[in-house]
Amino acid sequence: MTQVQRTILGIDPGLANTGWGIVSQCGARLSCVAYGCISTSKDMPLAHRLMKIHRQMGAVIARFEPTCAGVETVWFGSNTQSAFATGQARGAALVACAERDLQVGEFSPSQIKLAVVGTGSADKDQVQYMVRQLLALEAVPRPDHAADALAAAICFTTHEGFAARARSAQAAGRIASLRQDRESCPTRAADVAPARFSVPSSGKETA
């Protein structure tokens, strides 16, 4: 069986700070290639802040050439204004991914925590600790946004396995359902009237 070999970009979006991380996957082995953070000043016009995120994320993609990306979704808590700002930054980063035709997986904070720590209710310290362990890093990545971005990249690798198992289970359920229907409603070939076709001079079949 061929081992999966690819480079994955992780993104933790934010208007003030957008974290990014690059993870290399070879089979089950994951390693950290690079990570960082794109910061914008609140004194800059909004359009310029979004342009900076888009351009610098594009530069990261051009340098490391990932083929896929794991992106954290926006969590709408009590601060809706902050959530909208995060959504705008996320859109700027997603455009950069689209320009390079990256396969994008979008994951909620709880999905990322579940993939990295094993529980969707893990706290930030637990996530950072497991990112360090899974990628065999000497220290927890700083700033926090970079560690969260690496966690999103890790989630991309594990979520595919969950999705594949879910698709297999759904397929198995559909097959079992069809078999059950077939057994409960048996149909003989003689009971089905054959379709009739006429062939005109053009040679094309018509019903």
Residues involved in catalysis? 12, 72, 145
DSSP 8-state assignment for residue 125: H
Contact indicator for 67, 108 with CB cutoff of 8 Å = no
Measured between alpha carbons, how far is 133 from 139 in angstroms, rounded to an integer? 9
Instruction: Classify the phi-psi angles of 64: left when phi > 0, otherwise alpha if psi is within -120 to 50, otherwise beta.
Output: alpha
Selection from 140, 137, 150, 198 nearest residue 37 by Cα: 150
Percent composition of the chain: helix, strand, coil (DSSP 3-state, to 5):
50, 20, 30
Extract the runs of DSSP E, i.e. beta strands, from 50-189. Answer: 68-72, 103-107
Selection from 50, 45, 53 nearest residue 149 by Cα: 53
Tokens of 13: 């979006």
